[in-house]
Amino acid sequence: MKICKHLYQFFITILTFPTLALLQALVRNYVILTLFFCLNFINVTPAIAANLSSDLLKQPATEITVNLGNAANELKFEPNHLEFVTGKRYNLKLANPSQLKHYFTAKDFADGIWTQKVEAGKVEIKGAIHEVELKPGGEAEWVFVPLKSGSYSLRCPIAGHTEAGMVGEIVISN
């Protein structure tokens, strides 16, 4: 929103100068358009969320399972390439079948999705989640709707794990 603020200040400055009436009228229109755009931008996520909760969230979620490590304690995600489509509902089932603790860390990916909930054991967490830690034998379900297409990196930030190849790629397409 920093850009919007700067634009707003810029337009206010121009408006307070004694310039041509025509120019002022033009700028005034731009100010209105810019503010409209900024407000739309601010409101886009709640608007999407409101739409989602009304119909899409009643649809069954596509289940995808990702293992963090494996029984042989290899440092990798299985699978290490995930694909999602914007506007669809997913249930990402995370499991740690290893004897080590692991993280599912994909912050940019997490910024590009709308999280409905993360469920683990008898607890359900609602709202934005950025990373999930799974202790040995741990399981969690991350239910979300991808919003922003892109290619995002996944990794386990525990010392040595990323370096050993505990990384992955997540692609969201339209």
Q: 87 to 126, contacts with Cu ion by CB under 5 A?
A: 102
Q: Where are the beta strands (DSSP E) in 12-164?
A: 62-68, 77-78, 81-85, 90-95, 102-105, 113-120, 123-125, 131-134, 139-146, 150-155
**C-alpha distances in Å from residue 156, one per residue of 33, 75, 100, 102, 107:** 43, 9, 12, 6, 11
Which tokens hold the place of 99? 């004897």
Span from 1-9, 23-31, 38-46, 165-173 in contact with Cu ion (CB under 5 A): 165-173
Q: Smaller CB distance to Cu ion: residue 136 or 150?
A: 136
Q: Smaller CB distance to Cu ion: residue 1 or 72?
A: 72
Q: 38 to 57, contacts with Cu ion by CB under 5 A?
A: none
| Residue 155 interacting with Cu ion (CB under 5 A) | no
| Residue 76 interacting with Cu ion (CB under 5 A) | no
Min dist. Cβ of residue 166 to Cu ion (A): 5
Residue nearest to Cu ion (CB): 156
Q: Smaller CB distance to Cu ion: residue 6 or 107?
A: 107
Q: How many residues bind Cu ion (CB under 5 A)?
A: 5
Select from 156, 168, 170, 172 the one that contacts Cu ion (CB under 5 A): 156
Site residues for Cu ion per CB under 5 A: 102, 156, 158, 161, 166
